[in-house]
Amino acid sequence: MKNIYPKIIDNLKTLIYALFIALIIRSFLFQPFYIPSASMEPNLLIGDRLFVSKYAYGYSKHSFPFSPPFSNKKFFKKDPQRGDVVVFKTPADNRTDYIKRLIGIPGDKIQFISGLLYINNKPIKRTKKNISIKVNCGNKKHDTDVFEEVLPNGKRYIAVYNAKVALLNTDPYYVPLNHYFFLGDNRDCSSDSRYLSNVGYVNSLNLVGKAKILFFSSDREKGSMFNFLKWRNSIRFNRIFKIIR
C-alpha cells in the first residue's frame, strides 16, 4: 500500500500540470469553438469546429473561463479589422459566445438601403454570383442570392440573402466609441448588431478572438461523428484545416 501513494500523487501532479498547460493555451493562445447555428453560412457551417486566436485583439476578463470579474480593462489591446470573423460575448448576457463578421468600426454609420449595405453613406462594392445556394434557417432551408462583397479596406467575402424575403431597409446605426458592429454572412438568418436588444454594438472588452482555422467539420444530419461506420458521409474532409477568411 505504501508504494501506491507516491504513484497516486505523481498522477495527480501530472493531471494538474496538464490542466494548467491546457488553461494557458486556451486563455492566451488558441481556443476551440463549435458552430451550432447557420448565421455564418455558407462560409461557416453547422458542425464546423475551429480554432480562435486569443491574442489577436488582446486580453480581457472574457479571455478566461467563466469571465472572472478581475478587471474592466483590455490588456495588449489590438484593433480588429473590417471583415474579420470574430468570436465575442454577446452584450445581452456577457456569457454567450457569438461568431460574426466585423462590418463597422467606431464612428461608422451603417445602414441597409434597398437591400444594399452602406458604410458611411457609401454603398459597398458587391458582385452577384450566377449561383444559388440553399442555406439553413432554423429548421428550414431557403434559396439565396449569392454576392461577393468588398469592404472599404478591400476585404472580400461571400454573403447570401434570402431570394424571396430579404431585409431591404433599416434605420442608420451609429457605432459608438470603443464598440463594433457585426453581421452574419447569412444575412436574413442572423441575430447580430442590427438587433439592438439582443446583440447591438459590441464593446471591445467582449471580443474573445479571431477565427483562424477549421480543424474539423461534421454534418450531423448525415450521422454522428461517434458512429465510425458513417464517417465517410458525415465528416466533411474538404473542410479540415481550412483557413477562415
Strand partners, 116: 113
Provide, rounded to the nearest whole percent, the portion of the chain with pLDDT above 70: 92
Active site residue 100: yes
pTM: 0.88
Give me the catalytic one of 74, 89, 100, 210: 100
Confidence of residue 179 (pLDDT cuts 50, 70, 90): very high
- Can you give the residue ranges of every domain in the chain? 4-243
Cell readout for 129 is: 454570383
Cell readout for 69 is: 470579474
How high is the pLDDT of residue 23? Answer: 73
115: left (phi over 0), alpha (psi -120 to 50) or beta: left
Tens-digit pLDDT profile for residues 14-65: 778 787 777 787 777 889 999 999 999 999 999 999 999 999 999 999 998 8
Respond yes or no on whether the N-terminal peptide bond of residue 42 is cis (omega within 30° of 0).
yes
How high is the pLDDT of residue 24? Answer: 80
Active site residue 39: yes
How high is the pLDDT of residue 225? Answer: 56
Position 148 pLDDT exceeds 80: yes
Architecture of domain 4-243: Ribbon (2.10)
Dist. CA 108–CA 175, nearest whole Å: 5
Give me the catalytic one of 39, 204, 217, 218: 39
Position 208 pLDDT exceeds 80: yes
